[in-house]
Chains A and B, each alone.
Chain A
Amino acid sequence: MFRAGVKAELGDAVDVVGEADEAEAAVELITERVPDVVLLDVHLPGGGGHAVLRGVHPHHPEVQFLALSVSDAPEDVIDVIRAGARGYITKTISGPELLQAVYRVAAGDAVFSPRLAGFVLDAFAHGDSPPAAGLDPELDQLSPREREVLRLIARGYTYKEVGRDLGISAKTVESHVSSVLRKLQLSTRHELTRWATDRRLV
């Protein structure tokens, strides 16, 4: 039922090449048709979105994943990003915004909802204090600029508005966001790995 609604919202702007309601079928379909963007439900039966990412990403790294979820729970979100998704949106998103997000991900940029920005700020908290032992300052901390960008996104600003507020171009904002995404995926910060180990994913 949800998939029908999403297809209606996307309309003709996007070519829907396949749909699946379960992880294994999804992996098969994706490796067969190699779409540009995959809208992936975090809680897909048969292993969740995580299973699909794990099945496809190593063989087809060019396929971009946009994760969807009803839950908004930080564990789900961070989980799926660390598994390789380029963006995260909730199911209550509006049609035009969904389209924009799909385009953004297809172009290789990251889609950060305000919620996700909040989670990331939370997870990388205390970035101003000196790094604790074992933390790689490059990967495990956000630079002050990245924090500012994230904070503005969390406040509901679009990338353009963020750029205007900070006096930088939208492209620069996007590169900051991508860098944050990379840190999210690679950091060994214990808040992030704790979520993963809790689900025995590490």
Chain B
Amino acid sequence: MLGGVCGAVSSATGIDVTWVRIGFVLLAIASGVMVFVYAMAWLLIPMEGETGNIYSRAVSDRRGIRLVVAVLVPLLIAVQLITSTLHVPFVGFIGWPTFLAIGVIILIWRNANENEKAFIDNDVVPLFGADTHGQGRHWLIARVLVGAIVGACGIALLVMGHTTVAALRPVGGAALVVAASVIIFGPWWLSLVRDLIAERQARALAEERAQMAAHVHDSVLQTLALIQRSADDPQNVVRLARAQERELRAWLFEGRPPGAIGEDATMLGEGVGLLQRQVEADHGIAVQVVMVGDCELDEALRALLDAAREATVNAAKWSGVDQVSLYAEVEADTVMLYVRDRGCGFDPAAVPDDRQGIAQSIQARMARFGGTAVVRSALGEGAEVQLSMPRRARVK
């Protein structure tokens, strides 16, 4: 979770990772030494996939060592001199370990590789709030100061011994120290927890997607089996193949889960897709759809879709070809829809009665909502039905 040490121990010994982590945490609570051991392990065990560990790399980093020594040692000496002349007591005591720690950290930073740097960036840096700017920085400083003061009071209370409220003192001191650590480290802890939650959600999403993928695979396998069985019925084969192709395409490239489109479409694009699927399935032809723009369906547009369906089915039945193109364009104030086929066409002047009826039916559907329908055709050159429906003006 943090530095991958538990993962390494787990894979080396074969114990489940969670148990290893619990063990580490318990030991760390029992004795703070474990935190130190963890840090040492992180330094010394090579990251999965790396050959050297950080320690060996740091030691062989001559430039880094030279840099550290050249910069820090004079600084250290200067600080020591200044504090000893001014007789400031504590600094000498904590001075050189601090410098040593800084030097080591610099060496580690220079020699950590990408993943380890990512760990430092994501988990350690937020701990010190070094990645906050501006407002965040002010809050951070305020938080650290308040926390430090509270912590200092707590420690002082714990350390100083002798008055009447002796019993309360340790408790109060301890409480203050705990409060201090919460104030200082709280946000970091929260962000770790948040990351965990996000990770879990991502995993749930991935599982859901894997399930859908399995469903689609089943569907494809079934279709392939059916196709083999219908090998002597080419029309059926084409129908099956096309339906499966549409479903797979919709899932792969539009993220639509299989079987999700019910009979109730809310957008024009969905409605057109539904029309396409139904006509293809019922009449065994291919409907090529090109759409520009999209909008919500209202009564008028549903009538448009019905008219388009009639026109498409008509083309499927009478044109004599197995492909119909449907083009829909959503403009600001109208929706235009064209259904075109390259079939035998007809002569508008000499039209048989049932065909005339359909043209009239389409026109009637459109006219009820203020739209228009024009049927253009010529013998031998296919036919085109041009539908146009005004969009109801939105109240701004």
Chain A residues engaging chain B, CB cutoff 8 angstroms: 71-73, 92, 114-115, 117-118, 121-122, 125, 151, 154-157
In this assembly, does B338 line the interface, its C-beta being within 8 Å of a C-beta of chain A? yes
* Cβ-defined contact, A72 with B253, below 8 A: yes
Q: With A73-B253, A117-B290 known to touch, is A156 a contact of B329 (CB < 8 Å)?
A: no
* Cβ-defined contact, A156 with B293, below 8 A: no
Give the distance in Å from the alpha carbon of A151 to the alpha carbon of B337 in the complex: 11
Total B residues in contact with A, Cβ cutoff 8 Å: 16
Min CB gap B355→A, angstroms: 21
* Cβ-defined contact, B253 with A114, below 8 A: no
* Cβ-defined contact, B253 with A156, below 8 A: no
* Cβ-defined contact, A122 with B293, below 8 A: yes
Can you list, as one digit per residue, whether each of B297-340 has a CB less than 8 Å from chain A (1) or not (0)?
00000000000000000000000000001010100000000101
CB-defined contacts of B293 to chain A, threshold 8 Å: 122, 125
Q: Please, which residue of chain A has its CB at the minimum distance from the CB of B291? A: A118
CB-defined contacts of B252 to chain A, threshold 8 Å: 71
Q: With A71-B253, A72-B249, A73-B253 known to touch, is A156 a contact of B292 (CB < 8 Å)?
A: no
* Cβ-defined contact, B340 with A154, below 8 A: no
In this assembly, does B288 line the interface, its C-beta being within 8 Å of a C-beta of chain A? yes
Give the distance in Å from the alpha carbon of A165 to the alpha carbon of B290 in the complex: 20
Q: Please, which residue of chain A has its CB at the minimum distance from the CB of B341? A: A156
Contact of B329 among A71, A114, A115, A121 (CB under 8 A): A121
Contact of A154 among B249, B327, B342, B384 (CB under 8 A): B327
Can you report 24 residue pairs joining A to B where beta carbons are below 8 Å apart? A71-B249, A71-B252, A71-B253, A72-B249, A73-B253, A92-B245, A114-B290, A114-B327, A115-B290, A118-B290, A118-B291, A122-B292, A122-B293, A125-B292, A151-B327, A151-B329, A154-B292, A155-B290, A155-B327, A155-B340, A156-B325, A156-B340, A156-B342, A157-B340
CB-defined contacts of A71 to chain B, threshold 8 Å: 249, 252-253
CB-defined contacts of A125 to chain B, threshold 8 Å: 292-293
Give the distance in Å from the alpha carbon of A127 to the alpha carbon of B249 in the complex: 30
Q: Choose among B292, B325, B340 the residue with the greatest number of A CB atoms under 10 Å from its CB.
A: B292
